[in-house]
Chains A and B, each alone.
Chain A
């Protein structure tokens, strides 16, 4: 059973006849890392938005574990079934590292102490030492911020990780670290990791690579 299936999905923006995403069909399984590559304006973000439940397809369906997202509570879907990381990390600037990671847990209604325990594990997992737990994101390097963002995405326990240009703001070394984490999550922990990227080197680390151009998705032979 595919973790996430995209079936004949087309998306048109309001007041626009041109489809940003055209009849896309694909599926994403656990234990693999996927890369979606494509030039600017090709429809990557639109597709990602639909995958994250932030937008709904004009046509077709997106199925999470065989359930159409249309039939799901999308807030709950984003809270418990998927997680996302971004090029600009998107950490709450006013929350400490620990608080950022605890946020999704507390949002789920987990006791603070319990959430903290889970957060410590997540942070440890991405190599953020305890001394940095009380720092604010602005006091961390880009690589560290991205790892905190990954830790936050791990906290909820969701096995589907959507990454939007996760290494776009990182240098080569940090890119390697982040990709190692994502690869590890997919291969060792059975996560389904979907990475939208421009970076061919990142794409090369993916198990399966899709290319999107003018809204049309094509699976590339690796």
Chain B
């Protein structure tokens, strides 16, 4: 038979061809998807583990909660000039060991560098990087970082406002400074003077004033010259030059910008107020104004200054290593950049957004020669002349990466962290670009955020920790080792590897069995063709090839389709198993190696080919005539011999002719027993075929079942993934309530700190619905009868006060307190006192205040809100906690805003709707800018997989049912002759069908049990798995029974004699 003719058999017997195709494609897909998954997982895990470095950091002291919960970012005060003065005496005593921003000892660091396992040390430096075309981008955004928001303003004093402690300036001109916020459109400005020291309650409830305090961005000390007394003396109508700073957060008037007079950085070298009385027009050129001129130069440079951080490897920075700070685009700087001297940089995503920068763009920077401390909020701005670089080196840097912090900048401001000091202005560059005098470098002492070491072999991290933790502790430093959690990943991989190998082993056996079954089925069907070809003189080899050719065509097509399906499935699903995908910067390569695809295809084809030739070789041993006479009979040599010994006809000895008559029947019908015996015997006698049927059934069920279980697993993972949404910034309490009522989120949490007047006394108050979370520990609170912690989830007018505050203010549980925005009473009193002060100065200010006290109190009682004290919290510190009420959404013009609001999405399928809602909510919050942050990447990823599985699942189930039905029907059709014999011997149609159906049911059941065992072994014995596979098993079982019933009905309806009269 010619090849062309042989190939025609493919479509001439299309049903058989289709069956073989589907079966082979299914088993190929099943096995190869697992092989590919295993190969990729192994490759990627090994690759990922190689990427992991152990990163060690040291801190001088630990961060106490009291430090973390301070109102202002204390690291601002880490400046040596002020820090020791700022802290209480007992704190300052242990300054070096307790303050987390304290510098590390260089000698000790040098010793640590010598420790075993350490691959290299990354010492990070910071200098200014000045670029004429760009301005710093954080100006005016957050007052912890707006140190560059400095101005030099020339103007005429119009009036002094005692109540606001501010000067009204008219006819003004901005001499220096000029950020995105400009005041040129205004006709007048308010300049606030430095406030007098506030009054606090100490631990014993006594009033005290700190030696140093802040007012907006301005830090004030007792040495300050620019308090009310000074400003009051300025001549109304006089012309002055003011050194001022702008805060976008506080307004005297909604229509006028508020400026603060000078700040602590100018103390000692540049005055805050300069009188122009009698000065020439070019007064800046005079010797007297030299410091001001210098200050103007500093300001102008600072506006265009970025914080250049030099590193040998960004991976050595702990937060980059653990993924807290990530790369949103491109890559991070690596060791090769440093060693190869590459002029590259990584910029912040906000900078990229503002200036439209992308990966591959270049920026030109003038790198300064002065070092700055990275932990300071000031960044690399000069502020004072001695910090201004004396020389700059121009470099052109290619942007290779864009970094993004997962945390909110406000969080950074309120929870200072010595290891986290980077802002939108931070640009990372390789250390080889550092152009600082050697002496300065040698003398530089490092802080925790500037120093870390790398253990490249992550397997050594544990050993290092065991060996050196105590030694470093003895040096009075705290060692923190971070290995990126690689060990857990490796353990997970090892477990999954074992499971995957077992799975592959089982599937390989199933595939081998299915392939044997398929090929055997095909060749037995073509046995007669083979015999005819042989009889007609075709050589054995040629006849074999003619039979094998179409089989190989079908096999190749099926294997390629199966492999492609496995490929697509694997590529789309594989990464879910990788915890390593969470690793910063790690991009999972889910590509399947081409060699593996080719190997899979070839392996399956070769397997089919080998099986085909083995069977054909076996068949070829028989004579073609024997095959034609009885192609279904197997006769080995032994049997042949037995046949040869069959008695010759003439030797046949017939028995006596004795009438047999009807057999004795005891009258009992044993139909069930008969049927059972026949079925069991038949299964036993066709054990190979039966096993094949069982295995194929198990395989089919397993494929569909695995997808089904995967679907559930992913659905569970999807539903269990917590999507936390944050409103960073200043969300109004009113909108917090809207969020709580929206039904989109659960476990809403909010927190905010605000000064409140409680019974006229300013107290630090915390708006929150979870005190424990806010304070970081479970607090002991004594509640008034009928109240408990759950009251914080309401918006009732209740308040919990600390024991210290209650004692100091003589407040008892159940009392009512009167609340107003902080310092309002004080301001009102001052304002009213002004009215009691005649122009002749006969009534001093303090006396005037006493005179105004009653009026102020009357106003206070009228305007304040009453709250019930329902809890007393054990604490030596003054403070109060309240959930806030809607009525106090604005407290006398000042909004109750939340620094942080969080909620967990209830229904992860509603991310889009909720995002729209959240963004609208944030936009609706008009007064302050609120950033709605919600990372849905994890659930989106899972959702995509679920959608894919939803598509695959019905396909797999249908394929399973079709193959199952087809296979069952085919087997029954093949037994038509037996059915005919049974029928002719008087077996009723019904009983014949019962026999056929029962046999298939039994085999199917065993296959189901096997499939269930495999699935349980792979996925664990859980109710969820059981529940999921029940449907698959039931559907398959029903399909098999239906197919058996239909096929047996068809078989029993055939013309019995027609079937029996033919030899085959």
Minimum CB–CB distance for B639 against chain A, Å = 5
Within 8 A of A (CB), among B655-712: 655-671, 674, 677, 681-682, 685-686
A124 within 8 A of B: yes
Please judge, given known A-B contacts A92-B981, A93-B633, whether A118 and B681 are in contact too, CB under 8 Å. Answer: no
Contact mask A91-110 → B, CB, 8 Å, 1/0?
Answer: 11111000100011111111
Determine the chain B residues whose CB is within 8 A of the CB of A95 once the complex forms: 681, 685
Q: Determine the chain B residues whose CB is within 8 A of the CB of A118 once the complex forms.
A: 660, 663-664
Query: A131 → chain B, closest Cβ, in Å?
Result: 10
Are B1057 and A156 in contact, with the CB atoms below 8 A? Answer: no
Interface string of A160-196 (1 = CB under 8 A from B): 0000110001010110110011001000111000000
Given the known interface contacts A95-B681, A104-B986, the answer about A154 and B671 at a Cβ–Cβ threshold of 8 Å is: no
A108 to B667, CA, bound (A): 9
Chain B window 629-654, contacts with chain A (Cβ cutoff 8 Å), 1 for yes, 0 for no: 01011110001001100111110111
The reply on A76 being an interface residue by CB < 8 A is: yes
Complex Cα–Cα for A121 and B654 (A): 11
B1063 within 8 A of A: yes
| Residue of B652, B664, B674, B686 with highest tally of chain A CB at under 10 A | B652
Q: Does B114 contact A (CB under 8 A)?
A: no
Q: Are B655 and A127 in contact (CB under 8 A)?
A: yes
Q: Measured between C-beta atoms, what is the minimum distance from B643 to chain A in Å?
A: 6
Whether B649 and A184, one on each chain, are in contact in the complex, defined by CB atoms closer than 8 angstroms, is no
Distance in angstroms between the alpha carbons of A68 and B618 in the assembled complex: 53
- Indicate with 1 or 0, residue by residue over A136-161, a CB within 8 angstroms of chain B CB atoms: 00111101100100001011110000
Whether B646 lies near A140 (C-beta < 8 A) is yes
Chain B contacts for A106, CB-based, 8 A = 670, 674, 677
Q: Interface 1/0s, chain B 344-373, versus A by CB < 8 A?
A: 000000000000000000000000000000
Q: How distant is B394 from chain A, measured CB to nearest CB, in Å? A: 93
Among residues of A, the one whose C-beta sits closest to the C-beta of B1064 is: A88
- Nearest Cβ in chain A — how far from B528, in angstroms? 15
Among B670, B985, B1063, the residue within 8 A (CB) of A103 is B985
Which residues of the other chain, A, contact B686 by a CB distance below 8 angstroms?
A: 94
Q: In this assembly, does A122 line the interface, its C-beta being within 8 Å of a C-beta of chain B?
A: yes
Q: Report chain B residues within 8 Å CB of A143.
A: 646, 649, 652
B657: contacting residue among A129, A156, A173, A188, CB under 8 A: A188
Contact across chains for A125 and B986 when beta carbons are under 8 A apart: no
Chain B neighbourhood of A155, CB < 8 A: 660, 663
- CB interface residues, B 928-952, toward A, < 8 Å: none
Q: Are B985 and A79 in contact (CB under 8 A)?
A: yes
Smallest CB separation, B24 vs chain A (Å): 28
Contacts A78-B984, A99-B681, A164-B1057 known; A126 to B666 CB distance under 8 Å? no
Instruction: Give every chain B residue within 8 A of A180 (Cβ-Cβ).
Output: 654
Q: Mark B1035-1063, 1 if CB is under 8 A from A, else 0.
A: 00000000000000000000111101111
Given contacts A75-B986, A99-B681, contact A125 B649 (CB under 8 A): no
Contact check: which of B649, B660, B986 meets A121 at CB < 8 Å? B660
Known: A54-B1057, A122-B660, A138-B639. A127 touches B984 (CB 8 A): no
B297 at the interface (CB under 8 A from A): no
Contact with B along A71-90 (1 / 0, CB 8 A): 00001111110001011101
Residue of A nearest to B630 (CB): A138
A88 to B1063, CA, bound (A): 5
Asked if B919 lies at the interface with its beta carbon under 8 angstroms from chain A, I say no
Once the chains are docked, how many angstroms separate the CA of A133 from the CA of B423?
95
List B contacts of A108 (CB < 8 A): 663, 665
Q: Are A157 and B663 in contact (CB under 8 A)?
A: yes
CB-CB contacts of B611-633 with A at 8 A, as 1s and 0s? 00000000000000000001011
Chain B residues with CB below 8 A from A144, complex form = 646-647
In the complex, A114 has a CB within 8 A of chain B: yes
Contacts of A189 in B (CB 8 A): 657, 659-660
Q: A125 to B654, alpha carbons, bound, how many Å?
A: 5
A111 in the interface (beta carbon within 8 A): yes
Nearest-CB distance from B427 to chain A (Å)? 83
Bound complex: CA of A169 vs CA of B652, how far in Å?
18
Residues of B contacting A45 in the complex (Cβ-Cβ under 8 angstroms): 1057-1058, 1061
B988 interfacial by beta-carbon distance below 8 Å: yes
B652 touches A127 (CB 8 A): yes
* CB–CB A84/B657 < 8 A: no
Q: Is B180 an interface residue (CB 8 A)?
A: no
Give the chain B neighbours of A35 by CB distance below 8 A.
none
Q: Contact: A90 with B655, CB < 8 Å?
A: no
Q: Does residue A48 face the partner (Cβ distance < 8 Å to B)?
A: yes
Given contacts A76-B986, A135-B642, A140-B643, contact A48 B1057 (CB under 8 A): yes
Q: How far is the CA of A126 from the CA of B1061 in the complex (A)?
A: 23
Taking the closest CB of chain B, its distance from the CB of A161, in whole angstroms, is 12
CB contacts under 8 Å to A, within B964-1009, are 977-978, 980-981, 983-989
Q: Which chain B residue shows the least CB distance to A154?
A: B660
Contact A176 B649 (CB under 8 A): yes
CA distance in complex: A160, B1038 (Å) = 43
In the bound complex, residues from chain A placing their C-beta under 8 Å from that of B1060 are 86, 88, 90, 164
Residues of chain A contacted by B1061 (CB below 8 angstroms): 45, 86-88, 164-165
- B1057 near A52: Cβ-Cβ < 8 Å: yes
Residue in B663, B669, B985, B989 whose CB lies within 8 Å of A114? B663
Q: Of B663, B674, B981, which is in contact with the most chain A CB atoms at under 10 Å from its CB?
A: B663
| Cα distance A122–B661 in the bound complex, in angstroms | 11
Chain B residues, CB < 8 A from A48? 1057
Q: Which residues of A contact B664 (CB under 8 A)?
A: 110, 114, 118
Is A9 interfacial (CB 8 A cutoff)? no
Do the beta carbons of B682 and A90 come within 8 Å of each other? no
Are A127 and B633 in contact (CB-based, < 8 A)?
no
Q: How far is the CB of A84 from chain B (nearest CB, A)?
A: 6
Q: Does A62 contact B (CB under 8 A)?
A: no
Cβ-closest chain A residue relative to B659: A189
Q: Does A4 contact B (CB under 8 A)?
A: no
The reply on A115 being an interface residue by CB < 8 A is: yes
Residues of A near B660 (CB, < 8 A) are 118, 121-122, 125, 154-155, 157, 189
Complex Cα spacing A121 to B655, Å: 8
Residues of A within 8 A of B668 (CB): 109
Q: Cβ of A75 and Cβ of B987 under 8 Å apart?
A: yes
| B988 / chain A contacts, CB cutoff of 8 Å | 75
Minimum CB–CB distance from A78 to chain B (whole Å) comes to: 4
Q: A175's closest neighbor in chain B, by CB? A: B649
Minimum CB–CB distance for B1001 against chain A, Å: 19
Contact of B981 among A87, A90, A105, A164 (CB under 8 A): A90
CB-CB under 8 A from B665, the residues of chain A are 108-110
Report the bound CA distance from A209 to B323 in whole Å: 100
Distance of A195 from chain B, by nearest CB (Å): 14
**B986 neighbours in A (Cβ, 8 Å):** 75-80, 104, 107, 156
Residue of A nearest to B667 (CB): A109
A49 within 8 A of B: yes
The CA of A140 and the CA of B1056, in the complex, are separated in Å by 24
A-B CB contact pairs (8 Å), 19 listed: A48-B1057, A79-B987, A87-B1063, A90-B977, A90-B980, A91-B981, A104-B986, A107-B674, A114-B663, A118-B664, A125-B657, A127-B655, A139-B643, A141-B646, A152-B985, A156-B662, A156-B663, A164-B1061, A165-B1061
- Nearest first, the 3 closest Cβ-Cβ pairs linking A and B are A79-B986, A173-B649, A157-B662
List chain A positions with a Cβ less than 8 A from chain B.
Answer: 45, 48-49, 52, 54-55, 75-80, 84, 86-88, 90-95, 99, 103-111, 114-115, 118, 121-122, 124-127, 129, 135, 138-141, 143-144, 147, 152, 154-157, 164-165, 169, 171, 173-174, 176-177, 180-181, 184, 188-190
Q: Knowing that A75-B988, A111-B670, A173-B648 are A-B contacts, what are 13 other residue pairs whose CB atoms are under 8 Å apart, sorted by A's residue number?
A: A78-B983, A79-B986, A88-B1060, A95-B681, A107-B987, A110-B664, A114-B664, A118-B664, A122-B660, A141-B646, A156-B986, A184-B654, A189-B660
